Amino acid sequence: MPVKSYTAIDPVKLGRVVVIAVYVQIVAEVLLSLAYGYAMTGPGQAFVEEDLRASDLGVGLSSLLYLASYFACGFIALKWIYRVNRNAHAFARGLTISPPWSIGWYFIPIASLWKPYEAMSETWQATARPQAWRTAPKPKFLGWWWAAWLVSAFLGSIANMVSRFTDDIATNSAAILIAMPVSIAADLLFVRLVKQLSPLQQAQINFGMFDESDAAASTPSQPAVAAP
């Protein structure tokens, strides 16, 4: 069976869009946290009308903004993940996770706990050292990003469960406020990943066979013309 070939596409422009989308999501998360924080206070829990608390409007609007930014950001981020994984397959051979599965694993129960991280690790390694990607080191923040993502997903699930079992606004607010800082941390680490991996792939496309050790020099020691 012939090996499928891939053509690398510069991910920098898409990466910039991802970064903007993530920052918008962080703003939405902050606004949601402020709304739920107000909901925990006495004035926020006061009823202004029958079955309507003073905080309900703020919570509702900030929740809608959060959901809109979450799905929009998720779509763009997955598109970037697909592209950089596809590029990695263009740089190196033998990667175990294909571009479709680099995003597909996010939706598979149990396997979603480690497979997306494995895919991103291979992408980074194949970009940094295509000739010997299996031995290429991974940055420490990559592990921190995935750990924050897992903890954020766990706390988010707990918050959803709490909202199903109780209507107490203070309890629901507390669950949300506990989850949000970790979610924001995961977002910021993902921004760092995008900002570092995108230009690294751009250098690989422009110079070919670019090794991360060459980054210390002003120019690659043996630049090569990128294959058409």
pLDDT tens digits, 152-163? 999 999 998 998
- The whole-number average pLDDT for the span 4-22 is 94
Give the range among 11-20, 95-104, 201-210 with minimum mean pLDDT: 201-210
Query: What is the C-alpha separation between 170 and 157, in angstroms, rounded?
Result: 17
Return the percentage of the chain with pLDDT > 70, whole number: 89
91, 127 contact by CB (below 8 A): yes
Expressed in angstroms, the distance from the first to the final Cα of the chain is 24
**Mean pLDDT of all residues in the chain?**
88
- The whole-number average pLDDT for the span 47-58 is 77
User: Which string of DSSP letters, residue by residue, matches the chain?
Assistant: -PPPP------HHHHHHHHHHHHHHHHHHHHHHHHHHHHTSHHHHSEEETTEETTHHHHHHHHHHHHHHHHHHHHHHHHHHHHHHHHHHHH-S--SS-HHHHHHGGGSTTGGGTHHHHHHHHHHHHHH-GGGGGG----HHHHHHHHHHHHHHHHHHHHHHHHHH---HHHHHHHHHHHHHHHHHHHHHHHHHHHHHHHHHHHHHHHSS--GGGGGSSS-SS--PPP-
Residue 225 pLDDT exceeds 70? no
Query: What is the C-alpha separation between 45 and 169, in angstroms, rounded?
Result: 8
Residue 173 CB partners (closer than 8 Å, separation 6+): 36, 37, 39, 40
- The whole-number average pLDDT for the span 205-226 is 51
pLDDT tens digits, 56-84? 888 899 999 999 999 999 999 999 999 99
pLDDT value of position 47: 73
Q: pTM of this prediction?
A: 0.86
